[in-house]
Amino acid sequence: MARHRTLSIDDLWALQRVGGLALSPDGAQAVCSVGSYSMEDNKGTSALWLLSTFGGEPRRLTQAGEKDGQPAWSPTGERIAFIARREQQGKKDDTPQLYVIAPDGGEARRVSDFAPGVDAFKWFPDGRRIAFVSWVWPDARGSAAQAKRHQAFKDRKETAYVTSEAQYRYWDRNLPMDRVAHVLVLDVESGRVRDLFEGSDYELQRGDPDAHSFDISPDGRHIAFAFDPAPEKRLDHCKSLAEVAVRSGRIEVIAQDKAWDFEAPRYSPDGKRIAFLASHQGKRHTMPNHAAVLQRGVDAPVKQQVLSAAWDHAVNAPIRWSADGDALFFTAEDQGRCHLWRFDVATRSAAVAAQGGWVQGFDVAGDVVVTAADAMDHPARVHVHRAGEEAPQRLEHFNDDLLKPIRLGKHEDVRLKGAQGDEIQAWVIYPPGFDPKKKYPLLHSIHGGPHAAAGDTFHYRWNTHVFAAQGYVVVCVNYHGSSGFGYGFLDSITHRWGELELQDVEATTDLMLKAPYIDRGRVFATGGSYGGYMVAWMNGHVKPGRYQAYVCHAGCFDWTAMFSDDAYTWHAKELGAWYWDDPAKVSSQSPHAFAKNMKTPTLVIHGALDFRVPDQQGLAYYNTLKARGVDSRLVWFPDENHWILKPRNSKLWYSEFFGWLSSHDKK
């Protein structure tokens, strides 16, 4: 009989991680990036792999690079372009550049040499040009001038970041100083580059502009893109759509409404329509993205239509058209899962095209669809879905050998009555070898957002099976405010954060404590980001002793001090007031205002590069607990952001996490 073991932290970092999935034009092959990590070297690498959609063994395509990513096939299928930083012909890339490689192998060739670097790209239909995104100095004209400015910035002795912009940082980095994101065109053979926005005030959005920010028309004559029309750029501004004529550089705004946010444009196969995401921000800042279509041309009877308004789901980018132009493909959450949907344009109806788990990525070519999807009990796997075939076919087995001896506990979808008498959903994950006749500690793992979800997904940073392998019954509550359960449920917490969510967590604890296998003296709550906010909120609102200890990772503690974050322009929308206009309303939703009630032992974890929840939040919480004499411990990472991404740091994170819980577990 084969010997089994439980999932460990080292196992998590030994798993191959699939990303960057793309189909060849004929649908016969797929390419994906596969990431791997070394605990010894404390770093990750990624390479491109080829997968036949008819089956067979995957083949590694790239060998020489360390981080090859974002692969995309040329329209003829003869080449695959990707972004990497490599050393070739005696030159080492200072910034990410574009490379191309033949799918039958050989050496990759660098095709760009643009000093500011390449962030994202798409092939033109002619296969001779590539449009790409780069952060450029808007007053420098031409590649030589950009290279000169780039070198001067590298050589400067000053270290200050100086700006007059409202939006100057994002997630874990300062935005490139004095630079903006433009769309440029690369001639693949000659390497010549032309900036389509040069001399204009147009730029792409400042929050991670990617390949979904723009699209190229089927005839290659135009590029549609999303942009912020306001003179001062902000994360929460409504974006508009524009088209730039590739030959002349003339730019025309094609969709603009001060109450609507438009993004992620995608041309139809015939080029007569543009699908995009539309959110009615004038109604409410929490309004979901809907699928919309813009008719091109002055003779179009209807300029633009929101197609999915009656469908109570939020649509995710990217949008892909079916080959016949009759339908749209996109992902959307539904009840703690994320499926790939096929949305019929004529009937405005949606049907599941690929079931989650959680569909992390997909591509479409003709009647062939490929997906990369994970689930709570396995990392991402690649499948092909062909029209007329009932069952999808798996294309790889990257992690099967590693997972074969590992036994995971069972998990189930539980429904219960939460705040306001509404039904809420929770995931319950049991330890391997669970015996209902024995007693187990209960561990809450509270998701962030708040407008996100605890999903049927394999989570590397907060892996529920690694938690359960320590002997905990783990519960993940999709509290009021969570995504994927309808707009009303998501928006219900607006301007009163903490209230309904706490009722939901407490209702779930009550339900679990009724189970004979839960030890009511061994109950713990942990959370990250908004989940960290929740455990800090619980510390000030729940009677001490109900939970033996908390873990607060990157949690929001003081909404006034949180104004140093990168999303400060949303605060009044979320909380109902600016802190200077109604300090009482803001404080009523802020854990720091209830510090006098905090007595439960807490582990506080934070990263110094976290700009979404700046680390002073965690430090202030930890200092407050220390000042009050509450048992507490701090783990502070100087080189991590909102997440813990380095293998050694992650291993330490899990060690501290389990060590803290164990030290407060009265077994």
Q: Which domain holds residue 520?
A: 408-663
Average predicted confidence (pLDDT) for the chain: 96
379, two tokens:
């990392």
Question: Residue 623 carries which side chain, given as an amino acid letter?
Answer: N
Q: What are the phi and psi torsion angles at 83 (to 5°)?
A: -105, 135
Q: What angle do CA 565, 566, 572 make, to 5 degrees?
A: 75
Helix (H, G, I), strand (E, B) or coil at 86: coil
**pLDDT tens digit string along 134-159?**
999 999 999 999 999 999 999 999 99
How many independent structural domains does the chain possess? 1
Q: What whole-number percentage of the chain has pLDDT above 70?
A: 99
Has residue 146 been placed in a domain? no
Tokens 């912009």 appear where? 165
3-class secondary structure per residue, 348-368: CEEEEEECCCEEEEEEEECCE
Per-residue model confidence as pLDDT tens digits over 481-524: 999 999 999 999 999 999 999 999 999 999 999 999 999 999 99
Contacts of 341 (CB under 8 A, 6+ apart): 313, 329, 330, 331, 332, 350, 351, 352, 353
CB 259 within 8 A of CB 280: yes
pLDDT for 591: 98
Q: Which of 363, 328, 372 is nearest to 23 (CA)?
A: 363
DSSP states of 4-47: -B---HHHHHHS-EEEEEEE-TTSSEEEEEEEEEETTTTEEEEE
Is 62 within the bounds of a domain?
no
The phi-psi region of residue 144 (left if phi > 0; otherwise alpha if psi is between -120 and 50; otherwise beta) is alpha
Pair 147, 134: CB distance under 8 Å = no
CA atoms of 317 and 325, how far apart (whole Å): 18
Angle value at C-alpha 337, between 332 and 340, nearest 5 degrees: 40
User: How far from 574 is each of 491, 492, 498, 586, CA to CA, in Å?
Assistant: 10, 11, 12, 10
The two three-digit tokens of residue 222, written as one number:
């135009």
Residue 486 falls within a domain, yes or no? Answer: yes
Instruction: List, edge to edge, every strand of the sheet that includes 290-295.
Output: 261-267, 273-279, 290-295, 304-306
- Label each residue of 640-666 as H, E or C: CCCCCCCHHHHHHHHHHHHHHHHHCCC
Other CB atoms closer than 10 Å to residue 2's CB: what's the count?
Answer: 6
User: 119 vs 96, 204, 234, CA distance in Å?
Assistant: 7, 12, 20
Position 1 scores a pLDDT of 39
How many whole angstroms separate alpha carbon 228 and alpha carbon 181? 12
> DSSP strand E in 151-260: where?
169-170, 173-174, 180-187, 193-195, 214-216, 222-227, 240-245, 251-255
If one counts every other C-beta atom within 10 angstroms of the C-beta of residue 480, the result is: 25
Q: What per-residue string of b and e applies to 607-626 under the rule 16 or more CB within 10 Å gives b? A: bbbbbbbbbbbbbbbbebbe
Angle between the N-to-C axes of helices 530-541 and 499-513, in degrees from 0 to 180, rounded to the nearest 10: 80
Distance in angstroms (rounded) separating the CA atoms of residues 342 and 327: 6
In three-state form (DSSP H/G/I as H, E/B as E, the rest C), the secondary structure along 379-422 is: EEEEEEEECCCCCCEECCCCCHHHHCCECCCCEEEEEEECHHHC
3-state secondary structure 314-358: CECCCCEECCCCCEEEEEEEECCEEEEEEEECCCCEEEEEECCCE
Q: Which amino acid is at 489?
A: F
CB 637 within 8 A of CB 644: yes
When mean pLDDT is compared across 298-302, 321-325, 451-455, the lowest value belongs to 298-302
Q: What percentage of the chain exceeds 90 in pLDDT?
A: 95
Question: Which one-letter DSSP state was computed for residue 91?
Answer: E
String of DSSP letters for 613-629:
S-HHHHHHHHHHHHHTT
Q: What's the whole-number mean pLDDT along residues 418-435? A: 97
Give the CATH number, domain containing residue 653. Answer: 3.40.50.1820
Residue 445's DSSP bridge partners are 526
Interval 174-229: pLDDT, tens: 999 999 999 999 999 999 999 999 999 999 999 989 999 999 999 999 999 999 99
What are the φ and ψ backbone dihedral angles of 387, each rounded to 5 degrees? -60, 135
Specify if 74 maps to a domain: no
Side-chain half-sphere of 163: how many Cα atoms within 13 Å?
A: 15
pLDDT mean over 433-440: 97
Output the CA–CA distances (angstroms, integers) from residue 49 to 71, 99, 226, 278, 541, in the order listed: 10, 15, 32, 35, 51
Estimate to the nearest angstrom the gap between the alpha carbon of 231 and the chain centroid: 28
CA pair distance 80, 363, nearest whole angstrom: 15
Give the per-residue pLDDT at 302. Answer: 56
Q: How many CB atoms lie within 10 A of CB 125?
A: 17
Summarize pLDDT for 520-564 with one digit per residue, the tens: 999 999 999 999 999 999 999 999 999 999 999 999 999 999 999
Cβ contact 71:33 at 8 Å: yes
User: Quick check: is 33 in a domain?
Assistant: no
Phi-psi region of 174 (alpha: psi -120 to 50; beta: other; left: phi over 0): beta
Reading phi first (left if > 0) and then psi (alpha if -120 to 50, else beta), residue 198 is in beta
* 51-104 confidence digits (pLDDT tens): 999 999 999 999 877 889 999 999 999 999 999 999 888 889 999 999 999 999
* Cα separation of the two ends of the chain: 32
DSSP H helical ranges for 59-165: 143-155
4-57 pLDDT, tens digit per residue, is 899 999 999 999 999 999 999 999 999 999 999 999 999 999 999 999 999 999
Give the integer Cα–Cα distance in Å for 625 and 604: 10
**Is residue 613 assigned to a domain?**
yes
Least Cα distance to 27 among 320, 380, 267 occurs for 320
Residue 301, pLDDT score: 53
Nearest one of 303, 315, 198 to 253, comparing CA atoms: 303
Whether 288 maps to a domain, the answer reads: no
Is 399 among the domain residues? no
